[in-house]
C-alpha cells in the first residue's frame, strides 16, 4: 500500500489505489487538506503530499 507523510504533523496517510497526482487528500491525523504530487527518484515515481494554499 502506498502512503505519504503529512508535511504538517508528519503522520502517515494511506492512499487509495485510485488516488492520483493533483488529488486532494485529508490527513487522517490533523485533518489538513493536502495535494498529492509526484516526485521522481531514480526513475521511480514516489507520491508526496504538499500543503494546500
Sign of torsion, CA 32 35 36 42?
negative
Residue 7 or 39 having the CB closest to Zn ion: 7
Choice from 3, 29, 38, 50 touching Zn ion (CB under 5 A): 29
- The verdict on 8 binding Zn ion (CB under 5 A) reads yes
Residue 6 or 25 having the CB closest to Zn ion: 6
Query: Interface with Zn ion by CB under 5 A: which range of 14-22, 30-38, 45-53?
Result: 30-38
CA dihedral (12, 17, 48, 2) in degrees, to 10, reads 50
Amino acid at each position: 500500500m502506498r502512503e505519504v507523510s503529512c508535511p504538517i504533523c508528519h503522520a502517515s496517510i494511506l492512499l487509495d489505489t485510485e488516488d492520483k497526482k493533483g488529488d486532494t487528500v485529508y490527513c487522517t491525523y490533523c485533518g489538513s487538506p493536502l495535494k498529492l504530487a509526484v516526485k521522481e527518484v531514480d526513475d521511480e515515481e514516489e507520491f508526496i503530499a504538499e500543503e494546500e494554499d
